[in-house]
Each structure stands twice: as structure tokens, then as C-alpha cells.
A and B are shown apart, each in its own frame.
Chain A
Amino acid sequence: MLKKHRNKNLGRAKLLYIMLLFPVVWYILICYVPMFGIAIAFQKYSVYKGVFGSEWVGLQNFRKFLNDAYFWQVLRNTFLLGFFNLLINFPLPIILALMFNELSSGPYKRVTQTISYLPYFVSTVALVSIITSILSPSRGVVNAIIESLGGTPISFMLEPDWFRPIYILLSAWRGTGWGTIIYLAAMAGINPELYQVAEIDGAGRFRRIWNITLPSIAPTITILFLLAIPGILGADFETVLLLQKPLTLNVSDVMATYVYRRGLQDQKFDYATAVSLTFSIISMLIIFVSNTIARRKGDVSLW
């Protein structure tokens, strides 16, 4: 009986399963099958001999970077950049979404939202060029303001202390508007009667946000936070590479640029794979731990 019931369901959902087939096959072929390339991390890899022909060297590549003093500096840079980026840029889209939600519908709201999305579509190269011009000590508007206030121009792009703030600012400029979309979609699902009742009870704007809006979108925030946490170890490679200067290397050299330099430029694919694999494992552990905590503390978790 149960089997018959299941077959009936299957028949009804046949088209849906066929639709599902293509992305599943794509994921298997593009994401899972190439995973066997992880073996490169344990080999003295030759591009010509390939994975099946290269010599196995065990953990030699892992030992190499664990013994490299410079690697630990790169790890520190990666973690700090990712941590501060998450700390500052995760709440920003939420705050902006709350502000947009408080606007009454109309052309002003639509125009403002659209303008906030636009930086997302500008290429990273263009954004970095713009920010370089803005921060230029001799030609930039920021230093012009500093000079007009009696200060000394600052070479922002060459100061290690300014690398992280500039990176975070650029990420905020680019991603905040775009990030509001999911939160606004979640807020659109809140029952408007809740706000009406709260208003009748005398709740002000901020009280309504605190007691109604935020709790309603809490599951969304939790899920997105869990997805964002592994990004602590994955700085945006393109942005870092473009912002990076020799003088800021002590602070700006992160895992992505380190792997690019050693792996692609120096053609040490085995070493680069070992480093990437290690970081991937760490990211996976972070997401496991976070998800476990989230599941125990609340009802919301990724799995």
C-alpha cells in the first residue's frame, strides 16, 4: 500500500524530478567529480603526468607550509581581515533593510533601493580604481578635505594600517545594497496586522522594529550568518590583489593571494592544493561547530 502510494507520488512529481535531474548532474560533474584532484595535495604533482601518474609524497606539502613562518602570518592576515569584515559588513545590510522597510512605498523608495544595488554590478577593477583616485594623496578628494582642515595628506593605499579599513569599506560599498534584498523579502512576509496592533498599543517605530521585525527575520539572519561564517577564511581574492601593494604586504597577503602566487604563478599546484585543502577543512569545521551551536540554542540551523 505504501509502495503504491509512493509510486503514485513519484508519478505525479515525475516532471519535477526530471527538472531536478539536470542541476544534480551538473553538481556531481562540476563540483563532486573534480574533488579527486585533492589527491594533488599529497603528490609531487606534474602537469604532464597528471594525478594518476605523479609521485605520492604523503604529507610533505602540508609539512612544508606548516614549517613556513610566512604562512602563519598569512593565516593571521586572512583571519583578521575576514573577522573584521564579517563583524562590520554583516549587520549593515540588515540595518539598511530595516531603514528601507520603514519607507513608505513610492518612487523615492524604489529609486533609493536601486541606487544602493548599483555598486554590486560595477567591476572590482573599476571600484578599486575609483577608490584609489578618491584616496590619492595629491589628487583625491579625501586628502583635499584633510588638507583644507589643516592636516597632512595620507597615502592611504600605501599604509598597512589603512588596508583593512579600505577593504571593509569597499566591501560595504559594494555589497550592502545587494545584501538587503533577502532581508527585504523576509520582511515582506511579516503580517502587517502585527504592526497595526503594536501601533495601537503605543509602540513606537524602534519598538516595532525591535519586537516585531527583527524577531520575524531572525531565522533568515541566522541562516545567512551561518553561511557567512566560513567566509572568515576566504577574503575576496580579486579585491585584495588589486588593493595590495608591496608596502602593505605584511597585512594584505591573505590565503587567496598566497595560493595564487605560489600555486599559479610559481606553478606549485601541489603545494597550493595542500594549502587550500587545509583552509577548506578549517572552514568546514567552523561551519559544523556553528551549525551545532545554532541548532542547540534555537530552532534554526542549516541542517
Chain B
Amino acid sequence: MKKILTILMALTLALSLSVPAYAESDYDTPIEITWMIPTQQSISLGESVPTQILLEKFNIQVNWIELNPVDQHPEKLNLLLASQQLPDVVSWVDKDFAARYGDEGAFLEITPYLASNFPNLSVVVNEESSAYYSAYTLDDQLWYIPIWERTSGPNWGWSINKEAFEEVGYPVESLNTFADYKAALEALKAAYPDSYPLAARASEYDISNFLSSFIIPFTKGMANYSVMGFDYEQKTWSVAANISGYKEALMYINELYTEGLLDPEFLTCDMNTLILMLANDQAFATVDYVGGLSGVGDVQSQVNDVLYPIEWPSPSVDEESIMGTKAIALGSTGTVLSANIMDDPEKFERVCAMLDYMYSDEWYDILYNNSDILTDDGTTYVEGYYVDSDNLRDLYIPWALYACFQDDPLRVDVEPGTAWSDFSIKWGNEWTDRLVDNIIMPFDTDTQTEINDLTNSVQDYWSANVMQFVIGRTDFSEWDTFVEGLMNAGGTQLEQIYNDFYQELYGD
């Protein structure tokens, strides 16, 4: 008897050890789905710990279609739409795309099922009511399951060689305004005459991102790289180049360029060249994508760990002004369900339950508070997040699962106490009094198409002419002619459309 009991207990123990902690499935019958999701993983998404927990909980087997989010994903999605063989679930779709093809019958409208099948998401939508139109269409239709960005901040910012700046008498604390930065760059140029203190790699990223890092603070958040900007004082929309501070931003960059403070080859510079310049004291600062996964944080070790990310707020016109707009908490992209999923009610119910679960606090803990990688002070430390051991990061915090549902990038930190960690923690979390609300303009499909056509024309003209001012080929005395050209290219019609719509939706 004792022997039998011992064997039974041993078997029970062995069985319990073989089953992961959360793996008690709520469902007996497995189902199979196809899920198209953007990933930048070094291992298959299915091998990640949170993924396994999720799929075991709901007893779902997934045929993954994993694609690079930048080019492969949209191309493949178009092919699948054309072939009418959509996967059951497609993540990383923007609202306009979802609404357009949802209207045509490709995707399932979520609105009728929100309360019944998505209780967690319903709570989120209610909490983020100010972002209603970022997820809903003007006709109050919800065509996708929107991303919930719990925290957010600027993706682009200044990174400097802290030691070099201190060497010339400009410690980090002294760098607040653009005037401070220029003075520091001038001091660096004097100390290192063969250098170009500020470098950038505009050949790899659209020049718009580089310019936005100046335009946004100079216009006090009224404009960025987009064609249109919103004057929150006048409550009017106008072509961005017309907004106060836009020209001044370009003039500032022009000064840096003509005085030899900005690398004259920044328009053709790539990451490898940038790394060499930063590592060899040929440059001491850059304005770049600060995040991991192809940002300067990723290449820290390659520049001999000299880079120090400037915390938010980065340089501004003065120390009090508005720095930009708050991120929209809901719906920059989302997940759609194929309309065909309704052919299998059980599959539909299960998938909804799974996707809704990903907005719960329990899922948040699984993703962001995994005890295997939690530090003593409660932060998530993924060793070598930026540089080494991609596998470890992808194993515990797969980008696709947090970037497509409950997105809290501030939880995904590097080693606590490092400059990058400090940056991540403060990234958009503090100084929110220097941000204004984003104005959401939920145009209908036809209006959006008209806007896109006009924007393309204006954008073409802008792209061909704006850099002429920056490098001094066109004098700023011809700025009005440039703005007139933008208006003639479609800016006038755009202003009309935007202001009419704004008045109709938000007017007194």
C-alpha cells in the first residue's frame, strides 16, 4: 500500500512538473487558426514563452505567417486580399485599411461583438474615450481590435558623447535649449576641427524623421513631418510650412550645416558610416531612432559605448514651451478578423476570447512581469536587450505580442541604472505638461482618398524643395515662394477640407 501511494505521488509530481504554470486550458477541444503577424524575431514566435502560455490556455494551434512589418507584411497582406484567402487573424493593420476592406466584406466588424465577446477591450475603450475616433470610424464602426498603448514617448531623440560634451564644458544638465546645443557643438568643433560634431544617417531613414526632431519643438508641437499641422491656439489646420517656427527650425539646421557643425554628408550617410564617425571622434552627437531593434541603442557597443541618450524633453526653443503632442493611446494599428471566421462559431468565440484576454491584467503580468527576468526592484531586465542575446528577449518578451495588443514599452528595460534605462523610464512618462493632445480627424474613406491624392502632390513638391533651404542652395528669402508652391500643389484644398471637417466635428 505504501509502495502504491509513493508511486502515485511520484507520478503526480512528475506530471505537475511537466506542465507549465498557466497551462490549464479552459477548453477541451483544440482548434486551429492561421494568424498573420509582423515579427522581428530571431526565433519563431511560437517558441516564445508567453505565446506558448497563451495558446495552451485557449487550446489553439496556430499556423503563423510571420513577416517583417515594414515591407513584407503589407505586400503579403495585399496578395492575400487579392486571392481572398485571408488568414483568420491579421495583426498590424491600420484603421483606414481595416475600414476600407471591412466595408467590402473582407474583415469582420467588431462593433456588434464588443460588449459580448471583448469585455476587457470594452473597459479599455471606455477608459480611453478621448481616443474614440482613433479606433472608431466616423460612423461609429469598429473594424479592428486596436492596440492599447499604455505608455509611449518619442522614438527619435538626441544621443550624445557625454564625455566629449563635458570635456568642452557642456555637461548634460546644461543642455536644455537649441541655443545650448549649438554652443556645445561649436565648442566641440573648436576642440576637434576635423570633426562634424552632429551626424545623422538620413540615407536609411526618411529625412522627415530627422527634420521632425527640430520642427516639432520649434513649432511647439503644432507641426511635424506631416503635410498638415494644427495650430492649437487658433484652432485651425494649415499647411505645416505655414506654421510659426517651421521656417525657424530649418534655419537652425541650415546654420549647423553652413557652420560645419552638421556632417555635410548626412543625406547619404548610413549606419556603418555613422558608427565609424561616432567611434572615432569624428562626430559627437546624433539625432536618430533611439529605440532598440535598429536604433542607436542597438549599436551602443559598436560605438564603444560612448552614446548617452538625452532624456525627454530634448532640446526646445526655451525651457517652458510645449514639446509636442501626446501619443494616442488607442488604435495606431490593430488586429482584424477575417469575415469568414463567422463560418465556424466555435472558432470565432475562442479567438475573441484569446484576443480579449490579451487586454487583461493577467496577460500583462505574463508578458511584462515574468519572474524569470524580473529584477529585485520589480523592473523587467532582459539581458543584452539592445546588443546581445536577441534570443533571450524574443523568448520572454516577443515584440509582436506586446506591440500589437497591450503595448507598454517602458516595461521592457535594459539593465537598471544605465543611461538607456533612465531614458526608457522617463521616456514620455514625465513632463507630460509639455505635451498637448493630439487632434484625431476620422475622415471617411472617400475623403481620405481625396486627402491622400492631394497630400501626395504636396509631399512631392515638399520633398523636392525643402532640403534646398537646409543646405543653403535656396535662400530663405524665397520661403514665401516655396509656401505658395505648396499651396498651389494642393495645400489650399487640404486646408479647406481639414478646417471644414474640424469645425463640423469639434466646432462650437
Instruction: Tell whether, in the assembled complex, residue B267 and residue A245 are in contact, meaning their CB atoms are under 8 Å apart.
Output: yes
**Are A68 and B457 closer than 8 Å at their CB atoms?**
yes
Asked if A136 is at the interface (CB within 8 A of a chain B CB), the reply is yes
Say whether, besides A48-B82, A246-B464, A250-B464, A136 and B489 are in contact (CB < 8 Å): no
Select one of B101, B264, B460 contacting A137, CB under 8 A.
B264
> Would you call B78 and A267 a contact (CB within 8 A)?
yes
User: Would you call B126 an interface residue if the criterion is a C-beta within 8 Å of the partner chain's C-beta atoms?
Assistant: no
**Most B C-beta atoms less than 10 A away, residue of A50, A132, A246:** A246
B78 in contact with A47 (CB, 8 Å): yes
B155 within 8 Å of A by Cβ?
no
Give B258 Cβ to nearest chain A Cβ, in Å.
Answer: 13
Q: Which residues of B contact A138 (CB under 8 A)?
A: 264-265
CA A70 to CA B473, docked complex, whole Å: 21
A155 to chain B, nearest CB (A): 7
Residue pair B466, A246 in contact (C-beta under 8 Å): yes
A130 to chain B, nearest CB (A): 13
Question: Counting CB contacts under 8 A, is A157 at the interface?
Answer: yes
Do residues B467 and A157 form an inter-chain contact, with CB atoms below 8 A?
A: no
In the assembled complex, which residues on chain B have CB atoms less than 8 Å from the CB atom of A136? 265, 268
Name the residue on A nearest B206 (C-beta): A246
With contact pairs A48-B81, A48-B84, A70-B457 given, residues A247 and B265 touching in the complex (Cβ less than 8 Å): no
CA gap between A247 and B268 in the complex, in Å:
11
On chain B, the residues within 8 Å of A267 by CB distance are 74, 78
Q: Does B504 contact A (CB under 8 A)?
A: no
Interface residues of B in 62-107 (CB under 8 A from A): 74, 78, 81-82, 84, 101, 104-106
CB-based nearest A residue for B208? A246
Which of B453, B468, B489 interacts with A64 by CB under 8 Å?
Answer: B453
Contact of B106 among A48, A247, A250, A253 (CB under 8 A): A48
Kindly state whether residue A168 has any CB partner on chain B within 8 Å.
no
Chain B residues within 8 Å of A64, by CB: 453
- Taking CB as reference atom, which chain A residue is nearest B207? A246
Contacting pair A247 B471 (CB below 8 A): yes
Known: A48-B81, A266-B456. A158 touches B267 (CB 8 A): yes
Q: Given A157-B268, A245-B268, verify A47-B464 contact (CB < 8 Å).
A: no
Q: How far is the CA of A249 from the CA of B267 in the complex (A)?
A: 13
How many angstroms from the CA of A30 to the CA of B473 in the assembled complex? 48
- Please name all residues of chain A whose beta carbon is closer than 8 Å to the beta carbon of B104 when the two chains form the complex: 46, 48-49
Give the one of A47, A136, A138, A157 with max B CB within 10 A: A47
Give the residue name and chain of the A residue nearest to B202 (CB).
A246
Complex CA–CA separation, A266 to B464 (angstroms): 18
Chain B residues with Cβ under 8 A from A157's Cβ?
Answer: 267-268
Contacts of B463 in A (CB 8 A): 246, 249
**Interface residue? A63 (CB, 8 A):** no
Tell me the residues in window 443-477 of chain B with beta carbons closer than 8 Å to chain A beta carbons. Answer: 452-453, 456-457, 460-461, 463-464, 466-468, 471, 473
A253 to B267 CA separation, bound complex (whole angstroms): 17
Q: For the complex, is A262 an interface residue (Cβ under 8 Å from B)?
A: yes
Contacts of B468 in A (CB 8 A): 247
Q: Interface residue tally of chain B, by bracket?
A: 20 to 34
Q: Which of chain B's residues have a CB closer than 8 A to the CB of A247?
A: 267, 467-468, 471, 473
CB-contacts of A196-241 with B (<8 A): none
CA distance A286 to B254 in the complex (A): 46
Interface residues on A, range: 20 to 34
Set of chain A residues within 8 Å of B460, measured between Cβ atoms: 70, 249, 253
Pairwise interchain contact A155-B265, C-beta atoms closer than 8 A: yes
Return the CB mask of A136-168 against B: 1 if under 8 Å, else 0: 111000000000000000010110000000000
| CB contact under 8 A between A48 and B267, given known A70-B460, A246-B467, A250-B464 | no
Decide if the interface of chain A is mainly helix, strand, loop or mixed: loop
* Distance from A168 Cβ to chain B, minimum over Cβ atoms (Å): 20
A70 touching B453, Cβ below 8 Å = no
> What is the bound-complex CA distance between A136 and B266, given in angstroms?
11
A137 touches B265 (CB 8 A): yes
Chain B: CB-nearest residue to A70: B460
Let me know if A48 and B101 touch, CB within 8 A: yes
Shortest Cβ gap from A41 to chain B (Å): 16
Considering the complex, give the chain B residue whose CB is closest to the CB of A156: B268
- A158-B471, A250-B464, A262-B456 known; A47+B81 contact, CB < 8 A: yes
Q: Return chain A residues, CB-CB under 8 Å to B265.
A: 136-138, 155
Q: A48-B101, A70-B460, A70-B461 are in contact. Are A246 and B267 (CB under 8 A)?
A: yes
Distance, CA A48 to CA B89, complexed state (A): 16
Q: How far is the CA of A64 from the CA of B453 in the complex (A)?
A: 10
Q: Report the nearest A residue to B268, measured CB to CB.
A: A157
Q: Which chain A residues (35-87) contact chain B, with CB distance < 8 Å?
A: 46-50, 64, 68-70
Q: Roughly how many angstroms separate A148 CA and B441 CA in the complex, as a whole number?
A: 57
Shortest CB-to-CB span from A100 to chain B, Å, is: 36
Contacts of B82 in A (CB 8 A): 47-48, 50
Q: Are B106 and A158 in contact (CB under 8 A)?
A: no
CA distance A158 to B91 in the complex (A): 39
Give bound CA distance, A266 to B453, whole Å.
Answer: 9
For the complex formed, measure the closest distance between the CB of A206 and the CB atoms of chain B, giving whole angstroms: 44
Query: Could you tell me the distance between the alpha carbons of A253 and B465 in the complex, rounded to whole angstroms?
Result: 13
Q: Which residue of B has the minimal Cβ distance to A246?
A: B467
Q: Which of B101, B268, B452, B457 has a CB less than 8 Å from the CB of A158?
A: B268
- In the assembly, what is the distance between CA of A245 and CA of B453, in Å? 22
Contact with A along B40-58 (1 / 0, CB 8 A): 0000000000000000000
Contact with A along B254-295 (1 / 0, CB 8 A): 000000000011011000000000000000000000000000
Given the complex, which residues of B lie within 8 Å of A68, measured CB to CB? 457
- Shortest B80–chain A CB gap in Å is 9
Q: Which residues of A contact B264 (CB under 8 A)?
A: 137-138, 155
B86 nearest CB neighbor, chain A only: A48
Chain B minimum-CB-distance residue to A51: B82
Measured between C-beta atoms, what is the minimum distance from A232 to chain B in Å? 23
Chain A residues contacting B471 (CB-CB under 8 Å) are 158, 247
Chain B positions within 8 Å of A246 at CB level: 207, 267, 463-464, 466-467
Contact (Cβ within 8 A) B452 A266: yes
Q: How far is the CA of A138 from the CA of B207 in the complex (A)?
A: 21
B residues less than 8 Å from A50 (CB atoms) = 82, 84
Write out the residue numbers on chain B whose beta carbons fall within 8 Å of the beta carbon of A70.
457, 460-461, 489
Measured between C-beta atoms, what is the minimum distance from B165 to chain A in Å? 23
A114-147: which residues lie under 8 A (CB-CB) from chain B?
Answer: 132, 136-138
CA distance A299 to B343 in the complex (A): 67
Please name the 8 residue pairs, one residue from A and one from B, whose CB atoms are nearest each other, closest first. Answer: A249-B464, A47-B81, A48-B81, A48-B106, A246-B467, A47-B82, A48-B104, A250-B464
Q: List 27 A-B residue pairs with CB atoms under 8 Å apart, sorted by A's residue number.
A: A47-B81, A47-B101, A48-B81, A48-B82, A48-B106, A49-B104, A50-B82, A50-B84, A69-B489, A70-B457, A70-B460, A136-B268, A137-B264, A138-B264, A138-B265, A155-B265, A157-B267, A157-B268, A158-B268, A246-B207, A246-B466, A247-B473, A249-B464, A253-B460, A253-B464, A266-B456, A267-B74
Chain B residues with CB under 8 Å of chain A are 74, 78, 81-82, 84, 101, 104-106, 207, 264-265, 267-268, 452-453, 456-457, 460-461, 463-464, 466-468, 471, 473, 489
Given A245-B267, A249-B464, A267-B74, 7 more contacts at CB 8 Å? A47-B81, A48-B106, A132-B268, A158-B471, A246-B207, A247-B267, A247-B467
